[in-house]
Amino acid sequence: MTKPVAREPLRRNSRSNRARILATAREELGRNPDVTLEELARAAGVVRRTLFGHFPGRAALLEALAEEAAETLRKTVQAGPEAAESAERALARFVLRMWPVGDRYRMLLALARRDLGSERVAEVLAPAREAATGILERGQRDGVFHPQLPPAVQSAGLEAMYVALLESVNTGALEDDGTRVATATLIAAGVAEKRAGAVVEEVASAMRAAPTDDV
């Protein structure tokens, strides 16, 4: 009687190859948005056939990166603020949590409109936009954020600033662990500069002392 073929090691190897290809794509596309799939295969240490077995074309690879980013964003947003946390602390925590995610997937900024399309980008960002709008709405209601703009509009403006800062990282004009960006976000939302810096430092210190969540 023929023994069954052990498929689990093959599946593990396939998953490992796929993860390595995606990790390499994040890095290489950040350096050169026009890198070819053949160049990505070489950088990932796999043959061309292996890469195309997982991703039959550039569109499939970018969609996989977009879905990976979307899932990471969903998990990050689901963590939410701490119980009874003030809006200013919640916004600081939100930005500090989002910054590593944005940094990991900032190469998508260069590819968003050209390759993914604005509708797909909006789908990926929807959970983060909704969460940010909710925090800003609460902060306006509590009087800690300025009310001149509707929360959704204010959220869109802060998102544009965040994207611009990520692009500054791409060009090498900015290096930040997220604290400067979080402070700037609070100031833009209407928090006084000294207060914004103190809140971000408090939240960042608490996050550093807490168990690390994988994103």
**Structure confidence at residue 6 (pLDDT):** 53
Asked whether residue 215 is domain-assigned, the answer is no
The confidence band for 166, taking pLDDT boundaries of 50, 70 and 90, is confident
pLDDT of residue 181: 95
Task: Tell me, yes or no, whether 199 and 154 share the same domain.
Answer: yes
Q: Which domain holds residue 16?
A: 1-56
Mean pLDDT, residues 206-212 taken together: 81
50 and 76 both lie in a single domain: no
**Closest listed residue to residue 61, CA positions, set 29, 106, 14:** 29
Q: Do the Cβ atoms of 151 and 136 come closer than 8 Å?
A: yes
Render pLDDT for 38-62 as a digit per residue (tens, 0 to 9). Answer: 999 999 999 999 999 999 999 999 9
Same domain, 22 and 91: no
DSSP conformation letters of 116-173: I-HHHHHHHHHHHHHHHHHHHHHHHHHTSS--SS-HHHHHHHHHHHHHHHHHHHHHTS
Q: How many domains does the chain have?
A: 2
Task: Looking at the structure, tell me whether residues 18 and 94 fall in a common domain.
Answer: no
pLDDT band at residue 3 under the 50/70/90 scheme: low
Q: Do 80 and 35 share a structural domain? A: no
| Confidence band of 190 (pLDDT split at 50, 70, 90) | very high
CATH (domain of 41): 1.10.10
Same domain, 34 and 126: no
Residue 179 falls inside a structural domain: yes
- Same domain for 189 and 97, yes or no, is yes
**Closest by alpha carbon to 58, among 115, 128, 97?**
115
Phi, psi of 69 (to 5 degrees): -65, -40
**Interatomic CA distance for residues 23 and 11, integer angstroms:** 18
73 and 128 inside one domain: yes
Asked if residue 183 and residue 123 are part of one domain, the reply reads: yes
So what's the pLDDT on residue 5?
Answer: 53
**Cα distance between residue 126 and residue 214, in whole Å:** 21
Distance CA 144, CA 76 (A): 24
Residue ranges of the alpha helices (H) in the chain?
A: 8-31, 37-44, 48-54, 58-79, 87-104, 107-111, 118-142, 151-171, 179-189, 193-209
pLDDT in tens, 94-122: 999 999 888 888 777 777 767 888 788 88
Question: For residue range 124-140, what is the model confidence (pLDDT) as tens digits?
Answer: 889 999 999 999 999 99
CATH number for the domain harbouring residue 69: 1.10.357.10
Cβ atoms of residues 55 and 37 within 8 Å: yes
Amino acid occupying residue 44: A
Residue 12 confidence (pLDDT): 74
